[in-house]
Amino acid sequence: MTADSRSGAAAVPDSRDCLRLAEQMLSLAMKAGADGAEVLVRDGRELEVKVRLGDPELVKEAGSRGLGLRVLKDHRAAVTYTSDFTLDAMRTFARETVELAALAEPDPTADLPLREEMAREVPDLDLWDEAVLSLDAAEGIRRARKGEAAARAVDKRVTNSEGAVFGRTMGASAFATSAGFGGAFRGTNVSLVVEPVCDDENGKKRNGYHWTSSRFAALLEDAEAVGLEAARRTLAKLGSRKLTTRQAPVVFSPEAGRGLLGQLAGVISGGAVWRKSTYLAQREGTLVASPLCTIVDDPLVPRAPGSRPFDGEGLAARTNVVIADGTLRTFLCDVFSARKLGRRSTGSAGRGVGGGPGVTTSNFILRAGKTPARDIELLDDGLYVTELMGFGFNAVTGDYSQGAGGFWIEKGERAYPVSEITISANFDDLWKGLDALGDDLDARSSLQCPTFRVSRMTIAGA
Amino acid sequence: MSVISTTPLDGIDAAVAQRLLSTALGSGGDYADLYFEYDSSASYSFEEGRVRTVGRGVTLGLGVRVLRGDATGYAYTEELSTERMMEAARTAAQIASGGGAPAPVAIAPVSLPDFYPVARPWIDRPGADKVDFLRRADRAARAADARIIRVQVSFSEEWREILVVGSNGRWARDRQPMVHFGVHAVAEEGGKRQGGRSGGAARMGLEYFDRPDQSPEDHGKEAARLALCMLNAQDAPAGPMEVVLGPGESGILLHEAVGHGLEADFNRKKTSNYTDQVGQPVASPLCTVIDDGTIGSGRGSINVDDEGNPGQTNVLIKDGILVGYMQDHMSARHFGIAPSGNGRRQSFRHEPLPRMTNTLLAAGKDEPEDIIRSVERGVYAKRFSGGQVNISNGDFVFSLTESYLIEDGKLTAPLKGVNLIGNGPDVLRKVTMVGHDFKLSDGTWTCGKDGQSVPVGIGTPTVKIAEITVGGTKTG
- Confidence class of residue B119 from pLDDT cuts 50, 70 and 90? low
Task: Check residue B476 and give its pLDDT.
Answer: 61
Q: Is residue A235 domain-resident?
A: no
Residue A139's φ and ψ, nearest 5 degrees, are: -70, -40
If asked whether residues A374 and A456 sit together in one domain, one would say: yes
pLDDT tens-digit series, residues A322-342? 999 999 999 999 999 999 999
Cβ atoms of residues B228 and B147 within 8 Å? yes
Q: Which of B390, B396, B402, B467 to mutate to test the interface with A (most CBs of A within 10 A)?
A: B390
Q: What is the mean pLDDT of chain A?
A: 95
Task: Check residue A180 and give its pLDDT.
Answer: 96
Neighbouring C-beta atoms of residue A115, cutoff 10 Å: 11
Instruction: Give dist(CA B327, CA B322) in Å, integer.
Output: 14
If asked whether residues B221 and B245 sit together in one domain, one would say: no
- B163 three-state secondary structure: strand
A422: pLDDT strictly greater than 50: yes
Residues from chain A that touch B422, judged by Cβ atoms under 8 A, are 420
If asked whether residues A256 and A384 sit together in one domain, one would say: yes
Please write down the HEC assignment for all residues of B223-243. HHHHHHHHHCCECCEEEEEEE
Q: Is residue A415 domain-resident?
A: yes
Q: Which of A107, A205, A462 sits opposite B273 (nearest CB)?
A: A205
Q: Is residue B1 domain-resident?
A: no
If asked whether residues B200 and B258 sit together in one domain, one would say: no
Q: Is residue B2 domain-resident?
A: no
Pairing mode of beta strands B395-407, B418-423: antiparallel
If asked whether residues A275 and A143 sit together in one domain, one would say: no
- Who contacts A253 (Cβ-Cβ below 8 Å, separation ≥6)? A384, A385, A386, A406, A451
- Nearest Cα neighbor of A249 from A368, A375, A376 is A376
Instruction: Give dist(CA B114, CA B95) in Å, integer.
Output: 36
Cβ atoms of residues B457 and B440 within 8 Å? yes
Residues from chain B that touch A52, judged by Cβ atoms under 8 A, are 269
State the complex-level ipTM.
0.93
pLDDT > 90 fraction of chain A, expressed in percent and rounded: 95
Report the first-to-last Cα separation within chain A, whole angstroms: 66
Q: Which residue, of A200, A227, A254, is where some domain finishes?
A: A227
Q: Is residue A232 domain-resident?
A: no
Q: Which of B44, B47, B53, B385 to mutate to test the interface with A (most CBs of A within 10 A)?
A: B53
If asked whether residues A124 and A268 sit together in one domain, one would say: no
If asked whether residues A270 and A397 sit together in one domain, one would say: yes
Cβ atoms of residues B363 and B438 within 8 Å? yes
If asked whether residues B263 and B212 sit together in one domain, one would say: no
DSSP letter for A309, please.
S
Q: Is residue B282 domain-resident?
A: yes
Instruction: Give dist(CA A115, CA A178) in Å, integer.
Output: 9
If asked whether residues B92 and B220 sit together in one domain, one would say: yes
Distance from CA of A272 to the nearest CA of B (A): 12
Total number of domains in chain A? 2
B247: pLDDT strictly greater than 80: yes
A280: pLDDT strictly greater than 80: yes
Task: Check residue B391 and give its pLDDT.
Answer: 82
A451: pLDDT strictly greater than 80: yes
A7: pLDDT strictly greater than 50: no
pLDDT > 70 fraction of chain A, expressed in percent and rounded: 98
Q: Is residue B403 domain-resident?
A: yes
pLDDT tens-digit series, residues A134-184? 999 999 999 999 999 999 999 999 999 999 999 999 999 999 999 999 999
Residues from chain A that touch B70, judged by Cβ atoms under 8 A, are 55, 57
Neighbouring C-beta atoms of residue A447, cutoff 10 Å: 22
Cβ atoms of residues B201 and B180 within 8 Å? yes
Specify burial of residue A340 (Cβ count, 10 A radius: 0-12, 13-18, 19+).
Answer: middle
Q: Is residue B467 domain-resident?
A: yes
If asked whether residues B215 and B287 sit together in one domain, one would say: no
- Who contacts A305 (Cβ-Cβ below 8 Å, separation ≥6)? A189, A213, A215, A363, A444, A445, A446
Buried b / exposed e over A366-382, threshold 16 CB at 10 Å, is: bbbbebebeebbbbeeb
The average pLDDT across A39-50 equals 97
If asked whether residues A207 and A260 sit together in one domain, one would say: no
CA atoms within 13 A on the CB side of B148: 26
Q: Looking at per-residue confidence, does B148 or B7 come out higher?
A: B148
Phi/psi class of residue A415: alpha, beta or left (left: φ > 0; alpha: ψ in -120 to 50)? alpha
* Structural domain of A396: 240-462
If asked whether residues A146 and A16 sit together in one domain, one would say: yes
DSSP letter for B435, please.
B
If asked whether residues B30 and B170 sit together in one domain, one would say: yes
Task: Check residue A1 and give its pLDDT.
Answer: 28
Cβ atoms of residues A450 and A437 within 8 Å? yes
Helix (H) or strand (E) holding B140: helix B127-144
B1: pLDDT strictly greater than 60: no
Instruction: Give dist(CA A75, CA A98) in Å, integer.
Output: 12
pLDDT tens-digit series, residues B98-114? 766 677 778 999 999 99
Q: Which residue, of B231, B259, B293, is where some domain finishes?
A: B231
If asked whether residues A214 and A267 sit together in one domain, one would say: no
B2: pLDDT strictly greater than 60: no
A214: pLDDT strictly greater than 90: yes
In whole angstroms, how far apart are CA B283 and each of A342, B258, B262, B437, B441? 58, 9, 13, 20, 22
If asked whether residues A6 and A87 sit together in one domain, one would say: yes
The CATH number covering residue B48 comes to 3.30.2290.10
Q: Which residue, of B231, B259, B281, is where some domain finishes?
A: B231
Report the predicted TM-score, pTM, of the whole model to 2 decimal places: 0.94
- B391 three-state secondary structure: coil
* Structural domain of B221: 8-231
H-only helix segments in B168-269: 216-231, 252-254, 264-268
Q: Which of A91, A422, A427 to mutate to test the interface with B (most CBs of B within 10 A)?
A: A422
DSSP letter for B255, please.
I
Task: Check residue A6 and give its pLDDT.
Answer: 37
Residue of B nearest to A49 (CA): B73
If asked whether residues B310 and B391 sit together in one domain, one would say: yes
Neighbouring C-beta atoms of residue A222, cutoff 10 Å: 14
Helix (H) or strand (E) holding A198: strand A181-199
Q: Which of A104, A105, A397 sits opposite B194 (nearest CB)?
A: A397
pLDDT tens-digit series, residues B310-353? 999 999 999 999 999 999 999 999 999 999 999 999 999 999 99
The verdict on A352 touching B (C-beta cutoff 8 Å) is no
If asked whether residues B225 and B245 sit together in one domain, one would say: no
In whole angstroms, how far apart are CA A443 and each of A222, A230, A368? 17, 18, 11
Distance from CA of A213 to the nearest CA of B (A): 17
If asked whether residues B12 and B125 sit together in one domain, one would say: yes
Task: Check residue A394 and give its pLDDT.
Answer: 92
Cβ atoms of residues B269 and B411 within 8 Å? no
* Chain-centroid distance, C-alpha A53: 30
Total number of domains in chain B? 2
- A457 three-state secondary structure: strand
- Confidence class of residue B120 from pLDDT cuts 50, 70 and 90? low
If asked whether residues A264 and A217 sit together in one domain, one would say: no
Q: Is residue B78 domain-resident?
A: yes
If asked whether residues B253 and B202 sit together in one domain, one would say: no
B124: pLDDT strictly greater than 90: no
The average pLDDT across A339-367 equals 96
Task: Check residue B390 and give its pLDDT.
Answer: 87
Q: Which of B70, B186, B238 sits opposite A57 (nearest CB)?
A: B70
The average pLDDT across A50-66 equals 96
Residue-by-residue DSSP string for A48-95? EEEEETTEEEEEEEEEEEEEEEEEEETTEEEEEEE---SHHHHHHHHH
The verdict on A197 touching B (C-beta cutoff 8 Å) is yes
Helix (H) or strand (E) holding B333: helix B329-335
Helix (H) or strand (E) holding B50: strand B50-68
A382: pLDDT strictly greater than 80: yes
If asked whether residues B312 and B291 sit together in one domain, one would say: yes
pLDDT tens-digit series, residues B405-441? 999 999 999 999 889 999 988 999 999 999 999 999 9
Distance from CA of B59 to the nearest CA of A (A): 6
List the 217-276 stretch of A: residues with Cβ below 8 A of B: 240, 242, 245-247, 275-276
The CATH number covering residue A169 comes to 3.30.2290.10
pLDDT tens-digit series, residues A96-142? 999 999 999 999 999 999 999 999 999 999 999 999 999 999 999 99
B3: pLDDT strictly greater than 50: no
Task: Return the number of CB contacts < 8 Å for A and B.
Answer: 264
Residues from chain A that touch B397, judged by Cβ atoms under 8 A, are 389-390, 392, 402-403, 422
Distance from CA of A60 to the nearest CA of B (A): 5
pLDDT tens-digit series, residues B159-208? 999 999 999 999 999 999 999 999 999 999 998 999 999 999 999 988 89
If asked whether residues A29 and A122 sit together in one domain, one would say: yes
If asked whether residues A207 and A119 sit together in one domain, one would say: yes
The verdict on A80 touching B (C-beta cutoff 8 Å) is yes
Cβ atoms of residues A366 and A452 within 8 Å? yes
Q: Is residue A439 domain-resident?
A: yes
Amino acid at A147: G
- A307 three-state secondary structure: coil
Report the first-to-last Cα separation within chain B, whole angstroms: 59
Specify burial of residue B411 (Cβ count, 10 A radius: 0-12, 13-18, 19+).
Answer: middle
